[in-house]
Structure 1
Amino acid sequence: MAEGPFATRAELAEVADRLESASPEAILAWALEAYGPGICLACGFGAEDMVLLDMVAGIRPGVDVFYLDTGLLFDETYRLIQRVAETYPVRIIRVEPVVSLEEQTAEYGPELWSRDPDRCCALRKVEPLQRFLQGYRAWITGLRRQQSPTRAGIRPVEWDRRFGLVKVNPLFRWTRDEVWGYIRERGVPYNPLHDRGYPSIGCWPCTTAVAPGEDERAGRWRGHQKTECGLHGARGG
């Protein structure tokens, strides 16, 4: 699949080099211009996603913003989604798994997430995302290098070989303080769980609060050798 306006991966890498010192707004403006209607914003309605949503809405109203509704999101997240839909001039798209929670329980037993979180994420997140992204040439994410060791090498723009399109990471250099500085300065709405010790918010059965000094994603899948749901595991190449 062609990488949007770029003929080769090397050209995309050159763009990443040029954008290494660019602001998030400049990276977004470039991406929205380069990919037009072929780009979308992935939104889990965490702090980083809300910053990007606020920026994108100001640059190009009407952009596609999608979220993966696993059926297991926190009530606070669902309420924030409704507020965003009423506040921002963007197109909110709900993406659901093919398999319902009832069907998942019937096939795999109750609470699959507690026994095999990789399988649960594959069913409720990875497959729906792969299906949805087939209609786009690029997607925007809220990944930051500081979030975890597995994200330390991300670029402002890179080829996502897992899903076969370009991934844009405008906040790649930002710190957590910069994210929250933007939210407070602009009055951006955010998930109240952040105020209760949840720096990273996913599905309620697999997300806990984080203690001071812990990694930002330490509250995801506690008790399992797992730090990613599978959406951002394969980069480059």
Structure 2
Amino acid sequence: MSQVVKEFPSKEELKQVAQELRDAHPIEIIRWGLERLGTSAFTFACSFGYEDVALVDMVLEVDPSIDIFYLDTDLHFPETYQTRDRLAERYQKEFIRVATTLTLEEQAKQYGEKLWTRNPDICCRLRKVEPLKEFLKRYQGWITGIRREQAPTRAHTEVVEYDQTFGLVKLNPLAFWNSKQVWNYIHEKNIPYNPLHDQNYPSIGCLPCTRPVQPGEDPRAGRWAGTQKIECGLHNTPLK
């Protein structure tokens, strides 16, 4: 795969490609992005949830040299870090740690103890959004595991988009896949995944802000439970 960074695509081109690749396999969507801009222009944001472990397999099949990073809030479940380590061993791939320089102790001194219980928006901004913005400055595109069925805020996600927030090409290869399709891929490839998914955690964020989901609840009901918050600020796709 070429490492030469090419001309940034226009919004019109991205809209056209999104329509052309809507029914393509996620691997083909990834391949388009890496061939269009060059592998070094792209990075993949991995949360180690089930969508993302499937994408680790797909992305590395296209090009093992691509940068894969994760946002470390220092508040993840132990199982999340264990999943990271199992994937690193399986694929012999180092995952880039992206984190704020603000320690939890410093955050508590500046904003008070357990900020996530009082103002999760500020906590997410400090520990996720700001470090992400800084990290993405070195790329022209990023790959995510968001899917249309995950939440109303993601219902209009396209497989290829222009990310207005970060000024990047955004690939969402699983946008039109349902949960069953993702799990079938994981089981077929025997990909390591977070064991919390087997304990009624369909969506896994930080430990203090994530609870199991009860039967009949929305898959993301366990995220920031008891608040109106449904997104951390990384994927602010407007409702249409």
Alpha-carbon contact 1:68-1:129 (below 8 Å) kept: yes
The CA deviation at 1:6 is 4.2
Structure 2 residue 182 is matched with structure 1 residue 154? no
The CA deviation at 1:33 is 1.4
Query: Which stretch has the larger CA shift, 76-85 or 105-114?
Result: 76-85
Q: Which amino acid aligns with 1:133?
A: L
Count of aligned pairs: 234
Note the 1:1-237 alignment, pairs <5 A.
Answer: 5-35=7-37, 36-234=39-237
Q: Deviations over 1:133-178 (max 9, x none)?
A: 0000000000100111111100001011111111100000000011
State the TM-score, normalizing by the size of structure 1.
0.95
Alpha-carbon contact 2:157-2:237 (below 8 Å) kept: no
The CA deviation at 1:7 is 4.4
Alpha-carbon contact 2:22-2:159 (below 8 Å) kept: yes
State the TM-score, normalizing by the size of structure 2.
0.94
Cα distance change of structure 1 residues 186 and 7 upon mapping to structure 2, 3 Å threshold: closer
Query: Which stretch has the larger CA shift, 5-14 or 73-82?
Result: 5-14
The CA deviation at 1:98 is 2.4
The CA deviation at 1:56 is 1.1
The answer for unaligned runs of 5 or more in structure 2 is none
* Identity of matched residues, %: 54
Q: Deviations over 1:63-89 (max 9, x none)?
A: 111000000000001111111121214
Cα distance change of structure 1 residues 228 and 74 upon mapping to structure 2, 3 Å threshold: same
- Structural RMSD (CA): 1.5
The answer for unaligned runs of 5 or more in structure 1 is none
Q: Deviations over 1:37-67 (max 9, x none)?
A: 1101100000000000011111211211100
Alpha-carbon contact 2:202-2:219 (below 8 Å) kept: yes
Cα distance change of structure 1 residues 146 and 234 upon mapping to structure 2, 3 Å threshold: closer
